[in-house]
Structure 1
Amino acid sequence: MAKLSTIEDIKLSDYEYTLPEEKIAKFPLENRADSKLIQYLSGNISHHRFFEIPKFIPEGSMMVFNNTKVIPARLIFQRESGAKIEIFLLKPIHPSSVISEVMVNTSCVIWETFIGNLKKWRENEILQGQITIHGKTEIINARIVNRSEKQVEFTWTGTNIPFVTIVEAAGEVPIPPYLNRKATIEDRTRYQTVYSKKEGAVAAPTAGLHFTDAVLQDLKEKGVKEEFLTLHVSAGTFQPIKEEQVAFHPMHSEQMVFDLETIQNLANHKDKIIAVGTTSMRSLESLYWFGVMVKLEGKTLFEIPKLYPYSDFEILPERRESFSAILEYMKEKDLNEITGSTEIMIMPGYDFKVCDALVTNFHQPSSTLILLVAAFTKGNWRKIYNEALKNDYRFLSYGDSSLLWGN
């Protein structure tokens, strides 16, 4: 287990690389599973197509997917003067901080947001927009309730209309800023996994974008188990690291949801666990650390601080012990699911507790995701990325994929 003193020595400049603009995939491939796939196994690299991935997953393994669903989180309002105000939904404040509860609310919600053109939005001014729902015109209203915190209250006409329906009708797909283009109709479906289910993300869990129903079926037929968790990907995933000492980077928090059956299956599973995406990996590792909190400290608040895993523990429980502690707590409280948040920062020196392999795309230079890949590949990320660049792999959200096995 790496200690805090070691973590503080990690320098951002060691995780930079040159990513030419032409290597960034601006649009998705026609067929999701036709993307390229690098496999990194025991120090060796091989090149494949994504639809071949079932060949490389051992029978009896468990693949864990993030079933979050991207919401059209970019809302554009126009003032009477003609000025446009962009409101980007970041995280809910009222009536709850739990995303699933806010999305089904039918009256009034408040979100922390990013506001473009804020200076032109006057105090107490209510912005209005027209939307069509079930063939009927409705009005959505936006009002700033806390300017310094950029908290915006949304109300709307119509009865029994959940906020998720309002957003679906009014919003634009929040494709990543580095694509440098406007969202298209195609992005509504392609910037979404085929198994997306729980609305609340403002960015896609992009490793999952390569999976098709046919690939998922091939995995099932091979005897690969599948489990689903929910981590609502936040805009913080695009936040660049600006600190040379990366441990001082203010890591973003993301909300996770696990159901009882999934945790039971994880606790009982004895073979390989493959995280589909860095979001699934963050969630699974965070779940382990929640079990540590429950078992060793008697804590039941599911919030994982950024550097908690690097604390000085005398002895840590095995994966099964940690998950079993959570199950005992859930049974005691009669809980069928638990919701938590994580700021966990996985970087070189991290000791992985749950995941044996990772399916992931190719990430931006000097990012928290590069740090995670570097940690998982024991520093061999640069070898993998150089190989991908040399072989014309497509990078970032709509780019190609990798299957990385831990050492």
Structure 2
Amino acid sequence: MNVDLFDFALPPERIALHPAAPRDAARMLVLDGDRTLDRSVADLPQALRPGDCLVFNDTRVIPAQLEGRRGEARIAATLHKREGPRRWRAFVKGAKRLRDGDRIDFGAGVEATSTARGEDGSWLLDFAGDEPVELLLERAGRMPLPPYIAAKRGIEARDAEDYQTMFAADPGAVAAPTAALHFTPRLMEALSEAGIGHETLTLHVGAGTFLPVKVEDTVDHKMHAEWGRIDAVVADRLNAVRGRGGRVIAVGTTSLRLLESATGEDGVIAPFAGDTAIFITPGYRFRAIDGLMTNFHLPRSTLFMLVSALMGRERMQAAYAHAIASGYRFYSYGDASLLIP
């Protein structure tokens, strides 16, 4: 499909620079069948049914942005995928200044060697020493705010908490699964009282999620792979939810993409551990999920293509036009949508 079909005009003032406070006070646009409803995230227990199950991504964002030097040259790196115990693939500003075997000093006793440049321009970085890389990043790294926020303001101390979900447990992501940022212990208690369950999986979100689609046709776009895991007990419980007539509602496109990657043509969710580069566009037949809670996405992005596949492109274009006209806040720190086809 032509990428231009997924374009829309978004006023810059609609981009949220901070999350709602409290988190569950954010607005929520509900598309349920043919209905379009303006609600808040706190209304989620009433928007779902007893027996439904929400699926969260428990990945934890690491301080994956590093600034350093190779000699006199300044190097900025954003880690985006672990390739080994001490090896990460990274997008690098100043990449043309690097060669195989160059040593980069990121300060605070953190050094890495560039070992191989990928076709996409990224580099493999091998970190020196014996300390876990996560500890090195805690010393030298910064939280990797999305570029559309970082371009408008600097990183603030509160981002270290604001940009983690309440489910964050497994370190490895360089971007938050932002739909889950709206959840609070109070909301989870209300969901439980309404008979709505929840499960967790892990998908370590990579920086590739922010890369623009540069091709004219979706068939020519290549997704970056991300590592994920669904435990066998979680897969069994989700299959049981659907067996009882409940609905599986993915919280975030990351949860959705991993669930769909793990599900066969028969609709059975299987245990999963490995990379996924699934690219969902209109025409895709969903097998694992019955709905999606997600934030509002970039024009021409793979994520807007995904929600268009779920609800229909014209429906989503109309919904986004309504959201823009109604003052909804967009992107990672913005408001939510609940999409039930």
Q: Establish whether residue 60 from structure 1 lines up as the match of residue 51 from structure 2.
A: yes
Gaps of 5+ in 1: 1-9, 95-101, 103-108, 132-138, 293-315, 327-336
State how many pairs are aligned.
332
Distance apart, 1:211 and its partner CA: 0.7
Q: Per-residue CA shift, 1:247-302, capped at 9, x if unaligned? A: 211122111101111011012223111110111111111111xxx3xxxxxxxxxx
Q: What is the correspondence of 1:250-399 to structure 2 with a 5 Å cutoff? A: 250-270=222-242, 271-288=246-263, 292=264, 316-317=265-266, 319=267, 322-323=268-269, 326=270, 338-379=272-313, 380-399=315-334
Separation in 2 of the partners of 1:15 and 1:123? 39
Q: Say if 2:70 and 2:104, in contact at 8 Å, map to a contact too.
A: yes
Separation in 1 of the partners of 2:104 and 2:301? 36
The 1:246–1:79 alpha-carbon spacing in structure 2 relative to 1, beyond 3 Å, is: closer
Q: Establish whether residue 150 from structure 1 lines up as the match of residue 123 from structure 2.
A: yes
Gaps of 5+ in 2: none
Matched residue, 2:10: 19
Q: Which amino acid aligns with 1:226?
A: H
Q: Which amino acid aligns with 1:390?
A: A
Choose which of 93, 110, 114 in structure 1 pairs with 2:91. 114
Choose which of 205, 216, 226 in structure 2 pairs with 1:233. 205
Q: TM-score normalized by structure 1?
A: 0.77
Matched residue, 1:334: none
Distance apart, 1:57 and its partner CA: 1.4
Structure number, greater radius of gyration:
1
Distance apart, 1:29 and its partner CA: 2.4
Q: Which amino acid aligns with 1:86?
A: A
Q: Say if 2:257 and 2:278, in contact at 8 Å, map to a contact too.
A: yes
Greater shift in the superposed pair: 351-360 or 116-125: 116-125
Separation in 2 of the partners of 1:125 and 1:247? 36
Matched residue, 2:132: 162
- Percent identity over the alignment is 36
Look up the SS of the partner of 2:280 in the other structure.
coil
Distance apart, 1:121 and its partner CA: 5.0
The 1:129–1:363 alpha-carbon spacing in structure 2 relative to 1, beyond 3 Å, is: closer
Look up the SS of the partner of 2:230 in the other structure.
strand
Q: Per-residue CA shift, 1:105-156, capped at 9, x if unaligned? A: xxxx12221222234557655333443xxxxxxx222222235662221113
Matched residue, 1:92: 82
Q: Say if 2:31 and 2:340, in contact at 8 Å, map to a contact too.
A: yes
Q: Say if 2:112 and 2:128, in contact at 8 Å, map to a contact too.
A: yes
Look up the SS of the partner of 1:383 in the other structure.
helix
Q: Establish whether residue 75 from structure 1 lines up as the match of residue 76 from structure 2.
A: no
Q: Which amino acid aligns with 1:178?
A: Y
The 1:255–1:198 alpha-carbon spacing in structure 2 relative to 1, beyond 3 Å, is: same
Choose which of 21, 26, 41 in structure 2 pairs with 1:30. 21
Q: Structure 1 segments of 4 or more deviating over 6 A?
A: none
Separation in 2 of the partners of 1:241 and 1:127? 30
Q: Which amino acid aligns with 2:240?
A: N
Separation in 2 of the partners of 1:65 and 1:400? 17
Q: Per-residue CA shift, 1:319-368, capped at 9, x if unaligned? A: 2xx33xx4xxxxxxxxxx64122221111111111211110010000111
Q: TM-score normalized by structure 2?
A: 0.92
Choose which of 187, 192, 195 in structure 1 pairs with 2:159. 187
Separation in 2 of the partners of 1:123 and 1:242? 27
Q: Which amino acid aligns with 2:28?
A: L
Matched residue, 1:178: 148
Separation in 2 of the partners of 1:80 and 1:346? 43
Separation in 1 of the partners of 2:128 and 2:254? 31
